[in-house]
Structure 1
Amino acid sequence: MLRITLAGEDALLHPSGALLLPAHGTLLVADAHFGKAVSYRKLGVPVPEATTTATLHALTKAIAESGAHQVVFLGDFLHSARSHARETLQALADWRDLHGHVGLTLVRGNHDQRAGDPPASLGIEVVDEPHRLGRFALCHHPEPVAGAYVLAGHWHPCISVRGRAFDHLRLPCFWFGSEAASARAVGVLPAFGSFTGMHPIERTEGDRVYAVAEGVVRALPALASA
């Protein structure tokens, strides 16, 4: 994990795309989109199998490696109403049975509005944005909140990295706006789900960007001043 400072506090960036706030023992996870694959299969679209299982395995690993006792999902926990399929809910229930010691909170996102809240049996506290945690406002939509540094999801950010052979890769990334300007005091986490798309970011001077590749989080050089 890569240690950085946000709003005067330590934060650890996990290569899964999760972010740990050690002072709060809290792991932030954006855009899990559980049940997305089954939603597409119900529409007749051929998509990968076992994506919910893969995402849950990644979550288990992130919790174990971070030592977090609380997980906050920054929106889009379930992908759609079709995600309430028996096999998806059973996988979530089995995972929850093994992790009953971990507190779970969901900050509702746009997909949650359509999918509905997760079953009460999962023991997930469901709240609307912004959800305050110390100096932070935990949200789904990356929009400023007065008096807080926002940590959000929704955009599934990625960045293009060019190689020496004129090739380039699109890598998921953490994207943190400048804390000096309240309108840009927003950080966006990469999508955590194993079956999600990515959208390129347009960073500006003062932004900090950290790309994720092959199990490592690396800081990218800052943009040069104009």
Structure 2
Amino acid sequence: MTITIKINRNTFILHPSGTVFWEDRKALLISDVHLGKVSHFRKHGVAIPNNAVSKNFTKLTEVVDYFDPESVIFLGDLFHSSKNSEWNLFVEWSDCCVAEIILIAGNHDIIAKENYDKIDVKVFKELEIDGFLLTHHPTEREKFFNFSGHIHPGVSLRGFGGQNIKLPCFFQKENQMILPAFGEFTGKYIMVPEVNDLIYAVTKEEVILVKKN
């Protein structure tokens, strides 16, 4: 189940995959996929199921099919580090994606721009569109609402029985929204909200508003 919100007279749909669909621009925002991280862990002996690699690409395909966007904008850290076997899988995936693909380069995006040029993926440091600022690192800029990633925001929820669960979340401040990490095994940074901050927790099936002031 998704949640639809309005920001500066634009409509955005928050999806359980951790993505945001910008309805007015037909653009799908995705942050921190960290392709190659699973292969990196496995190479160094970390016991991660091999199908974790395919899960990222299956999830990407499912959410793109769901929204049918005109553009897919990755808000940084598309890849975890240098090219490995998952690069070839991404090339295959991008060939099948009819939407324009854009990457806002993050701190982990060390793969040379020339490689993206060859597969028609446009790379930018940031984008300013209709009063919205798209970056990797959370950024405050006067007269702009910022969509970003980088932090891998999460929320800790406690039940009536004392049980505790940590979930990824969309973290919204007055002029900013930080997207949860999209990729598998990316971790979470538990956020501490201030007055007027909004937290939308993400489960496998729905997005839930858990804090509203």
Cα offset, 1:115, TM superposition: 4.1
Q: Does 1:127 align with 2:124?
A: yes
Contact 1:31 1:74 in 2 (8 A): yes
**TM-score (normalised: structure 1):** 0.88
Change in 2 beyond 3 A, CA 1:116/1:52: farther
Listed as ranges, the gaps of 5+ residues in structure 2 are: none
Equivalent in 104, 108, 113 of residue 107 of structure 1: 104
Root mean square deviation, CA, Å: 1.5
Aligned to 2:195: 205
Aligned to 2:151: 155
Cα offset, 1:67, TM superposition: 2.4
Structure 1 segments, 4+ long, off by >2 Å, are 40-48, 114-122
- Indicate the structure with greater helix content: 1
Cα offset, 1:69, TM superposition: 1.4
Aligned to 1:182: none
* Separation in 1, partners of 2:53, 2:42: 13
Aligned to 1:9: 10
* Separation in 2, partners of 1:211, 1:155: 15
Aligned to 1:93: 91
* Separation in 2, partners of 1:16, 1:161: 19
Cα shift readout 1:188-223 (whole Å, capped 9, x = no counterpart): 000011221111001111111111113100111325
Q: Secondary structure at the match of 2:12?
A: strand
Note the 1:1-226 alignment, pairs <5 A.
1-81=2-82, 84-85=83-84, 87-99=85-97, 101-112=98-109, 114-117=110-113, 118-129=115-126, 131-178=127-174, 185-223=175-213
Cα shift readout 1:147-172 (whole Å, capped 9, x = no counterpart): 21000000000001111110010011
* Separation in 2, partners of 1:103, 1:135: 21
- Aligned partner letter, 2:131: R
**TM-score (normalised: structure 2):** 0.93
The count of corresponding residues between Structure 1 and Structure 2 is 211
* Separation in 1, partners of 2:147, 2:167: 20
* Separation in 2, partners of 1:164, 1:214: 22
- Aligned partner letter, 2:118: S
* Separation in 2, partners of 1:221, 1:96: 37
